[in-house]
Each structure stands twice: as structure tokens, then as C-alpha cells.
Structure 1
Amino acid sequence: MKLSTVFYFTILFIFISSASYSQAILQKNISLDVNRQRLENVLEILSNKGDFYFSYNSSIVKKDSLVSFRASNKTVKEILTELFNNTYEFRESGNYIIIRKAPIRMTLVTQKGITEEKIYSVSGFVYDEQSGAAISEASIYEKKMLASALTNEDGFFKIKLKSSKTSTAELTVSKEFYEDTTIKIQPRFDQQLSITMMPVEIPENNTVIKPEDYLAPDSLQVPTDTTEQQLPVSNDSIKVQQTGVGRFLLSGKQKVQSLNLKNFFTTRPFQISLVPGVSTHGQLNSQVINNFSLNIFGGYTAGTNGFEIGGLFNIDQKDVKYFQAAGLFNSVGGEVKGFQVAGINNLVQDNVYGFQAAGINNFVTGKMHGFQAAGIYNHVSDSVKGFQVAGIGNFSKEKASGVQIAGVSNISNREMNGVQIAGVVNYAKKLKGLQIGLINIADTSAGYSIGLINIIIKGYHKLSFSANEVENVNAAFKTGNSKLYSILRAGVNLSDSNKVYSFGYGLGSELSLNKKKTLSINPELSCQYLYLGSWDYLNLLNRFDLNFNIKLGKYISLFGGPSYSVYVTDQDVAFGGYRFPVPPSHYNTTKFSHKVTEIQP
């Protein structure tokens, strides 16, 4: 029992002693004599003399203002009161003195009068709690009725509400860079309010002054700090407002309202809008997620969880599920899951899962999983998994898995694991599939490229020279990969009396016979047009070559092998200096018709 009593009084003594110590900071006596020094350095001198810390928000203290001050054996509180004015207060916390703006004390309800009408009004002003300045463009709203208003440049607002049987109601005030304020009001009474809002504390603006920050004489002149203060920048999450259509179609009030209320969203069964801002939910329509949404011309909502249709356009801040259609365009700040169709354009600033179609183009900043179709162009800033089809082009910034079909070009900026089919050009950084197009390009390839020109930057590139039964000089450029490469070839028979000129295209493959890849077999299939003195005739030499290839060095190989050819021609006359007939008479041939001849090896 005695031990418990001793322990109790010990704890009490420690508590009282620490409390007395903390309270003693502002009561410490200090002498100070400064002449035209910055306020920040004066605080450093005080901190050093009193052996305590200062903490304050640099946005509310003019630390570079010049101060001339003399104090003899005055308390810290008296000195601070003279340095600052009565709009500041000084709080102690441990060995810290916290300097902050003194809050403005205001009565919330200044006058009220009962009304028998079904509608009552609430008006008043909104002020900054620290500075007392009027706050313009603050949002005042009632969450259940979805009634709202914005303050004007004087901080004044007026909002009308429907009377209810409840004894209390709540108004919420929101403003960017301020903490939300909620106040209770009395329904059925016309009321006038004065409301204060506390600015959000920005950690980057907090300044701490330590005793060791100043170790020089009081009379030292310190140069003025010319560093610019970093003002807070809004991290605007309302992405749809930053688009071209958002800037054009949404009013300034709607943008401010969405910015102030970016943390407030609610749900409703349905809504009907004529244009943005004219809807069954009033100005708060942008904060409501609806199950059914009908926009006669166009609408601006928080999102859709069901069905949305717009005569011209739909603008949604957040996600859309499960059906959305518009005559011109859809603009969505979140994800789309389901079916989305527009006459001109779909813009989704997150992922799409499902079906998306537009008359001109689809633009997705996230992933696209599903089917995407556009009359002109599809653009996905992340990966694609599924099917893309467009009249002109498809683009995937990251990996694409599936099928891309376009009239002109397909681009997969990373890996393509699937099929690309284009009228002109296909590009994939890393190909693991099939490319079919006039020109196919890839950095690396583990797949197949079929086209007139196949370029694998880190792939198969060979220039070969050969002779055959028709021409004594042939050149071929082979590009692609060892699985499948394309062949562009041209040839000539150098002779005064048996000239032949040719050009053609082919496909080939290289099959290695040993691990070092010094021995290989190259089966090749090609078709060449032969010019025999006139362009009026069709002369096609179709060949299958089975070449045995020996690699003699890094850049030189020797090859040769049998070939099987089928010659198709409708030329029946000879021209001076040109070979006729083809092939030469000493080769074994078999005629299938007067136009088709088999040339045996």
C-alpha cells in the first residue's frame, strides 16, 4: 500500500514538473536588441537565447520582413506579441512554440425566421478562418436533396431547400485547399449564416527553427532571402475537364463545383439532363452516379452503373457500367466495363473491358481488353488484349495480345503476341506472332512476317549472288528471320543475243544442321517476271530452290542446290537480241499446255 502511494505521488510529481516546464517557455525572460533584421533571423535569435524551437507555416509568416526591436528582460510571449499582431496566437507543445493565425470566432446562425412555405432559404458568407478573407467559389450543398450553391467574390451565398419534417439538416461547405466544414441547420427556417473554413495545412510550407540555427551576434546583418515560395498546385483529379470537349462544353461554375466536390459522390436510380447543368439533379448532377441516365442533348454526371444514352454526348467523371451510347461522343474519366458506342469518338481515361466502337476513333489511356472498332483510328496508351480493327490504323503503346486489322497500319510499340494484318505497314517492337502486310517491321522477331518487304532490325539480313539456267547474274536481298524471310530479287542474262531481265519476290527459311549454324538448308519459293523484249507479254518463272548453305565466315557463305521451276508465258514471238524460247533447248522440259512448261532439274 505504501509502495503504491509513493508510486502515485512520483508520477504526479513528474507530470506537474513537465507541465510546469512546458508552460515556462512563453514566460521566459529574454533581452533582445536587433536593427533591420529579417523576421526569420529574429526568431532564430529568440530560439537560441531561450533554447527552444519555433514551428510555423511559412505561408502565413512574412519571414523576410525587416524588424527593428529592443526588449529588456521581457517574456517571450510579450516579445512575440509585439513582433506579430493580435491576429496570431502562440501555443506551446513540448519544447516547441507554434505560431499560427488566431481563428476567427463567428456565430454560425445570426438570425432566423420561421416560414410556412415549402421552400426555405439559407444565406450567408464564407470566410477564411485564419485570415478572415472572404472565400469565393466555395461550394455549399445539401447531400440528400442535392441542392447546391457557389459563393460569389464577396463570399456570399444563398441556397433554397425544401422543408422537411426532420428536426435538423446539414449543409456542407467545400473548397479546394480547405478542409470541409459541415454545419447543422433547422429546417423550415429562413437563416443567415457566417461560416469559417480552415485552410489545409501544406507540409512543404512548415518551417522549424532550432536553437543552433543562429550562433552569431545579435547585430549581424543577414542578406534578404530571394527564394521564391512554392505555392500549392492543385492535383486535379477531374480528368474529363482537361479534355478539349470538357473545356468547351462545361461552364466555369461546373468545373469549380466538380473541383471542390472531388471527394463527394452519391448514387441515384436515374437522371434526365437537357444539357450539362440542366438536369433533375441540378448543379450536383456531376457528383451523382446513376443507374439510368438519359441526356437529351448531352449530360455531365459522376458515372453510370447501368444504362446511359445521349442524343449528342455523354461526359462522366468516373466509371461507366454497362451500356453507354451517344450520337457524337462519349468522354469518361474512369473505367468502362460493358458496351460503349459513339457516332464519332470515344475517350476513356482509364481501362476498357468489353466492346467499344466509334465512327471515327477510340482513344483509351489505360488498357483495352475486348473488341475495339473504329472507322479511322484506335489508340490505346497501355496494353491491348483482344481485337482491334480500324479503317486506317491501330496503335498500342504497350503489349498487344490478339488481332490488329487496319487498312493502312498497325503499331504495337512493345510486344505483339498475335496477328497484325495491314494494307501497308505493320510494326512491332518484339514480334511473337504473325504479320501480314506490304511492309512488316520489327526490332526482334520470334514469329513470321509475310509481305513484300520484311524488316527485322535485329534479324536476318543477307545479300546473295547466283546464276541459274535462265540468267547468269542474279542478286537477292533476304530479310526477316530464320523461320521465314522475304526475298527481293533481280537478274540479268549478260549476252548480246540472249538478253533476259527479271525481277521478283519470294519467301524462304533457313534450317540449321548443326549447333554452330555453319551448315544449313534453305528451301525457297519465288516468282520472277522475265522481260524478253516486250512488256506486252506475261512471262513468269516460278521456282522452288533447295540450297545447301556453308558458312565460310561471319559475312560470307557459299550455297548451291537443285531447283524445280514452272514457266508460264503467253509470248510466242522472238525479239532481236533477247532469249527465246525459255528455257534453253538442252534442258529437260515438260509442257502442260502451250503456256505452261515444267523445267526439270
Structure 2
Amino acid sequence: MSKYADVIKHLKIILYIIRKSKLFLVSAVIVVFNYLPVFAQNRLSNNIQLPKFEGASMRDVFEILKKDQAVLFSYDSKLLDLDKEVFVGSYQGTLIDYLEKLLGKQYSFNETNSHIIIRYAPQQMNLSTVDLDTTKNNRTRISGYVKDIRTDIPVSFATVYDRTTYQAATLTNKRGYFELDVKHPEATFTIALSKENYRDTMLVLLLPVEVSLSGKERKTGYYYASDSSKMISNTAFGRFFTSSRQRIQNLNLGGFFVYSPFQVSMTPGLSTHGLFNSQVVNKFSLNIIGGYTAGVNGTEIAGAFNVNQFDMHGLQFAGLFNVVGGDVKGFQAAGISNVGLNKLAGAQFAGGWNSADTALSGIQLTGGINKVNYAPKNLQFAGVMNLAKDEIGSQLAGGINVAKKVHGVQFAVVNVADSSDYPIGVFNWIRNGSRQLSVGIDESRFTNLNFKSGGRVLYSVLGIGAYLSYHDVKYGIEAGIGAHLLRRTTFTLSTELVHRTHFDKDFKYIDPNRSSLRLVPAINLSRHLQVYAAPSLTYAEAVNPMQEARGRVWRFWGADQRRNTFHGGGTIGLTYIF
């Protein structure tokens, strides 16, 4: 607490002299690295003591720091080789000095509430000049030039932002020049400079305004993504809905973000947070046409589209699109599409399509297509198609289901999977399932060829055949569903529910149809060949109905061609298993 008291005391003295002298220019520019430990979490400035390491892996060193100092690290997985052997002597001093000794001067270290962020930053930059212009309505415009320390060359497209309130941000132009419009500046104002492959730089400006230390420190955070291909800026959606200036800022600031109660935007470039909107997580976000924010921890509504760099936790509604670069936890609804680049734990409802990388739990419902890579507990409902590249819970579609491994039920016209025990459809193609081709003849002398395909339990039946005795009814097509009840080395037992549609000798459709419930016991003659005799219960419509014949009759065996009949029957035949 003594450090805080000393700093505040000195600041008050300086500000008192400034006001008395009626100075309206910046009174001091101080490199913030001298004072940052006072206001930060102080993990980097902690004194540590470590033994000598000879041949240990970097992973071992990080684990010791995690255990002894409660330090968590975030970094690009391609940046560091954790299995690399390190040789460092025993050490006693600050953590940041040890990290520079361990990794080298080309790395920079930033601190958030929970992590120390390691970045590759071999270059350094600084402000060569700073000008301050106090305007009306308690606004201040800060301008200056950013240059490379080593070469003195202007640094273009560097992000310059308000590190005190996180309300303003801009990019330097080709000459390294920037202008930052600050609303309601406090006595001490911090400018932060950030650019990819450069060390983050912060400067504290002492402004000639009243001291106000009553405000709470703004909560910040850091988002870490191990796979850069799953970032908004690297997707077609991100490039379409955002400007090049915003994408450059994303590279400069990485996963850094700030929490804010609310924001309102007309378009991604016209927001109450200005250019800094892509780094702000809001509790409530209202986007008249569309908005681009760091994320949502509450509710977001848009007339056309919402685009979030990182996570969406809560409710999100859009007239057209919702696009989330991080995790989705909650409810998304859009007129056309919901796209999540990482994890889904909740519900996605869209008119056109839903997409997520990993669905931990929840549901996807759309009139078009659902797509997910890995979703062992997720449910997909689609009017046209469900697509899961890896595992999925259950899929229901009006058209096609495609998955690698299905834990639940697949229901569609066509089901395709590597593994699916319960596919229900007209046609199933399960790579690790069952496929059979059977030929047989039933009690009506209908000779048929059936293809049966499906999973370990359920399978589909598709068949075609011809009658050997009927003249008015000549051909038939069968479709149905079956289930494997028992499987032994020499014996199997299945059941099938099959509907047969009839055609005459000219292949014209005719009315009398029939449906059969079969019990199919089979004996395995070899690995690929079975013989079966299947009793059945059939409902058959009359082939030659009589006017005076009404109602339905029950017969022990065979159909009555003049009346609709419930009757017993059977099929015998051979099955080839492949």
C-alpha cells in the first residue's frame, strides 16, 4: 500500500503545480515500465528462486513455475518447443528477468488477470513526439509519431489505444502518425502501442485535469487460440464483414480484450467503442445493421449480423448471420446462418445453416444444413442435410445424414456413416455396419432380390421382384426397416417391417399394396452365406375386388384376391453377406 500512497502523493503535487502554472500542454511523458508493477498484478515482478537446470525440458521449468509461483502461461503452440532442453544456472531475482534469460530478449511478456502471455517480439517501437490538444466538452486529442527504436523508421499500422479506459483506438498511417480522440480523460492517461512482432509499449501522460481516482479499474482478459485457422480474421466471413484496419488491429492486439457494460453500433466501423470495438466484450450489444465485437457475455441483437472475435455467452439474435470466433455457450438464432469456429454448448437455430467445430452438448436446428466436426452429445435437426466430420449424438434430416461415428439415431432418406447402430432411412451406407444381398420367394410366389444395409442394430430394406402367377399384378418394389435381434456364430435372428408397391406388366402403378411383418431366422452356412425361412404376418389389399365383398378377412395362409386380407405367410431364400 505504501507504493500506491507514494505514487498518488507525487501525482497530486505535480498536478497542483501544473494547474497553478496554467499549463495546457502535456506535463510529463513517462515510460510506463517504471510504474507498471504498481498497478498490475505483479507476477512478473515477483522475486523467485530456482535451482540449476541442465538438460531439463522447458515444459519441466514451466511446470515448476506453475506449481511454486501459481503462474499460468499462454502462447502460440508454434512459438515454443516445450520439449527443448534448457541449460540455465541457479537463479534468484524477478520472474520477468528469468523469463528473458530462459527464452531470450526477442520475446515479450504481458500479464492478464490469470495468465502471462508470451509473444515473439524481436523489435521495439516508441513515440518520437507527442502533442496534446484540449478541446471543448471535456475531450482531448492526442497525436504523435511511432518509430522503430533501432532503425528510426516510421511504424505503420500499429495499434494505438487508450490503456486507461479502453474507449478509443486507432492505427498509425504510413508515416507512423496517429490521432487519438479521448473522451473524459483522467489525470493520468496511458497510451498503449501494439503491433505484431513488436514489444508492447505503454506511456503514461500526466494531463492538466482534476485528479479522480474513484473509478474502478476496467476488467481485462486474454483469449488464447491454439489453432489460428479458427480465428475470425482468417475466415471468409471475417474478411467479408470486417475492414482491413480492423484485421490489422486484431493481429496487433492478439487475444487481448476488455469488458464493457454495453455498446451500440450502426456498422462494424461505426460503434460507440470506435475502432476498439473488436477488443471489447459487452454485456449488452445492439447492432442496428451489424456489429463487430470481441464477444458477448449477456445479450446481443442485430438487424442483419453479429460478428464476435472470441466467445458468445448468453443470447444472440440476428436477422441474417451470427459469426463467433470463440466458444458459443447459450442460444443463437439467425434468419440465415449461425457459424461457430470453436465449441458449442447450447442451441443454434437458423433458416439456412448452422456450423460449429465442436459441440459439447446442445442442439442444432435448421431448415437447410447443420455442420459440426465433433459432437458426441449433440442433436442435429435439418430440413436438408446434417454433416458431422467426426462423432455426433443423433441426426435427423429430411434429406441426408453424414457422420463418422453416431452414438444415437440417424433418421433421413439417406444415412452415411463409418459407425452407426441405429440408422433409419430408405438407404443406409454404414462402413462398419452390415450389408446383405438376399434372394427369396414368398407364399404369393413373389420372387424378390433385396439389398439390406445398416448398422449393428437397425438396417434398411430395398428390393425389387416379380410375381410368377398373377397376371394383373406383375412387379413389385419393397422398402422397409429391419433390426438384428440376435447374432451368433451359426445363427442369427432379425425382424423386418416391409411395404410392397405394385405395378402391372407395363410398369404402371396399380392400387393393391401390401405390408408385412417378418421374423427372419437364418443359419450361417459360411462366413458370407446364409439360408433363411421367415414366417410373416401380412396385410394385403384385394387384387380383384368384388363389389359385394366388404370388410376384411383373416386367413391362416395366403391372401384372398377378392378382399382385403390379414394373413399368414412366409419367405424362404439365400443371403450373401459382404
TM-score computed with the length of structure 2 as normaliser: 0.63
**Aligned partner letter, 1:555:** H
Contact 2:129 2:145 survives alignment (8 Å): no
- Whole-angstrom distance in 2 between the partners of 1:238 and 1:394: 18
Contact 2:293 2:309 survives alignment (8 Å): yes
1:97-120, Cα deviation, whole Å (9 max, x unpaired): xxxxxx99x997899999999766
The 5 A counterparts of 1:22-421 are 123-144=143-164, 146=167, 150-157=171-178, 166=187, 169-188=189-208, 239-244=231-236, 246-247=238-239, 250-262=242-254, 265-287=257-279, 302-304=280-282, 306-317=283-294, 319-418=295-394, 420-421=395-396
Once the two structures are TM-superposed, the CA of residue 596 in structure 1 deviates from its matched residue by 1.1
From 453, 464, 469, the equivalent of 1:490 is 464
Against the structure 1 CA distance between its residues 332 and 493, is the aligned structure 2 distance closer, same or farther, given a 3 Å change threshold? same
Contact 1:416 1:428 survives alignment (8 Å): yes
Matched residues, percent identical?
Answer: 31
Q: Which residue of 1 aligns with 2:494?
A: 522
Q: Which residue of 2 aligns with 1:232?
A: none
Once the two structures are TM-superposed, the CA of residue 130 in structure 1 deviates from its matched residue by 1.7
Against the structure 1 CA distance between its residues 483 and 180, is the aligned structure 2 distance closer, same or farther, given a 3 Å change threshold? closer
Contact 1:522 1:547 survives alignment (8 Å): yes
Once the two structures are TM-superposed, the CA of residue 188 in structure 1 deviates from its matched residue by 3.6
Once the two structures are TM-superposed, the CA of residue 379 in structure 1 deviates from its matched residue by 1.4
Against the structure 1 CA distance between its residues 557 and 303, is the aligned structure 2 distance closer, same or farther, given a 3 Å change threshold? same
1:182-234, Cα deviation, whole Å (9 max, x unpaired): 34444249xxxxxxxxxxxxxxxxxxxxxxxxxxxxxxxxxxxxxxxxxxxxx
Q: Which residue of 2 aligns with 1:295?
A: none
Q: Which residue of 1 aligns with 2:15?
A: none
- Whole-angstrom distance in 2 between the partners of 1:115 and 1:499: 94
Once the two structures are TM-superposed, the CA of residue 370 in structure 1 deviates from its matched residue by 1.4
1:81-135, Cα deviation, whole Å (9 max, x unpaired): xxxxxxxxxxxx9xxxxxxxxx99x997899999999766655543322222233
- Whole-angstrom distance in 2 between the partners of 1:111 and 1:369: 49
Q: Which residue of 1 aligns with 2:400?
A: 425
Q: Which residue of 2 aligns with 1:598?
A: 566
- Whole-angstrom distance in 2 between the partners of 1:376 and 1:113: 51
Contact 1:118 1:188 survives alignment (8 Å): no
SS in 1 for 2:358: coil
Q: Which residue of 2 aligns with 1:440?
A: 415
SS in 1 for 2:541: strand
SS in 2 for 1:126: strand
**Aligned partner letter, 1:303:** V
SS in 1 for 2:153: coil
Contact 2:286 2:301 survives alignment (8 Å): yes
1:44-85, Cα deviation, whole Å (9 max, x unpaired): xxxxxxxxxxxxxxxxxxxxxxxxxxxxxxxxxxxxxxxxxx
From 540, 552, 555, the equivalent of 1:567 is 540
1:13-59, Cα deviation, whole Å (9 max, x unpaired): xxxxxxxxxxxxxxxxxxxxxxxxxxxxxxxxxxxxxxxxxxxxxxx
Once the two structures are TM-superposed, the CA of residue 485 in structure 1 deviates from its matched residue by 2.1
**Which blocks of at least 5 consecutive residues in structure 2 are unaligned?**
1-100, 102-122, 210-226, 547-554, 570-578
TM-score computed with the length of structure 1 as normaliser: 0.60
Once the two structures are TM-superposed, the CA of residue 391 in structure 1 deviates from its matched residue by 0.6
Contact 1:116 1:188 survives alignment (8 Å): no
SS in 1 for 2:374: coil
Contact 2:461 2:482 survives alignment (8 Å): yes
* RMSD (Å), alpha carbons: 4.0
From 417, 434, 453, the equivalent of 1:479 is 453
SS in 2 for 1:510: strand
Contact 1:163 1:187 survives alignment (8 Å): no
Against the structure 1 CA distance between its residues 571 and 406, is the aligned structure 2 distance closer, same or farther, given a 3 Å change threshold? farther
Deviates more, 1:332-341 or 1:151-160: 151-160
- Whole-angstrom distance in 2 between the partners of 1:242 and 1:379: 16
1:129-153, Cα deviation, whole Å (9 max, x unpaired): 2222233344444433645565443
Q: Which residue of 1 aligns with 2:23?
A: none
Contact 2:268 2:291 survives alignment (8 Å): no
**Which blocks of at least 5 consecutive residues in structure 1 are unaligned?**
1-92, 94-102, 190-234, 288-301, 574-585
Q: Which residue of 2 aligns with 1:291?
A: none
